[in-house]
Amino acid sequence: EDKVVQSPLSLVVHEGDTVTLNCSYEVTNFRSLLWYKQEKKAPTFLFMLTSSGIEKKSGRLSSILDKKELFSILNITATQTGDSAVYLCAVRDYGQNFVFGPGTRLSVLP
């Protein structure tokens, strides 16, 4: 059965800190790995990774995929209170299926 694991499940930091969120997976016929940010409503898309070793970057957020070791990390530098959210990792197979991990709940304190 396809499985996505995230760690830590919960994290509390102060503004300005750097955080690393982890996602590991066991998926048959891996196609892509996606990161989403969820505040109070629907998840919003951050990154999609398909190739190993290529870093995706958007402002203070960056992510990289290791297909050999079956994991990805999401880095957030100089955290702000607006980064407080649940960060979801999802993996897509070659069908229509997107499997979500449990999420990491990040709280950034002022």
Binding residues (CB under 8 A) for other proteins: these are: 31-32, 34, 41-45, 48, 50, 88, 90, 92, 94-98, 100-103, 105
If phi > 0 it is left, if psi is from -120 to 50 it is alpha, else beta; for residue 102 that is: alpha
Min dist CB 70 to other proteins, Å, is 18
CA-based nearest residue to 104, from 12, 3, 2, 1: 12
Min dist CB 36 to other proteins, Å, is 8
Nearer to other proteins, 17 or 93 (CB): 93
Min dist CB 52 to other proteins, Å, is 15
> C-alpha angle 45/49/51, rounded to 5°?
170
Nearer to other proteins, 17 or 22 (CB): 22
Min dist CB 6 to other proteins, Å, is 9
Nearer to other proteins, 54 or 78 (CB): 54
Nearer to other proteins, 51 or 110 (CB): 51
Residue 19 vs residues 30, 37, 51, 93, 96: alpha-carbon distances, Å:
26, 14, 23, 28, 31
The pairing of beta strand 3-7 with beta strand 98-100: unpaired
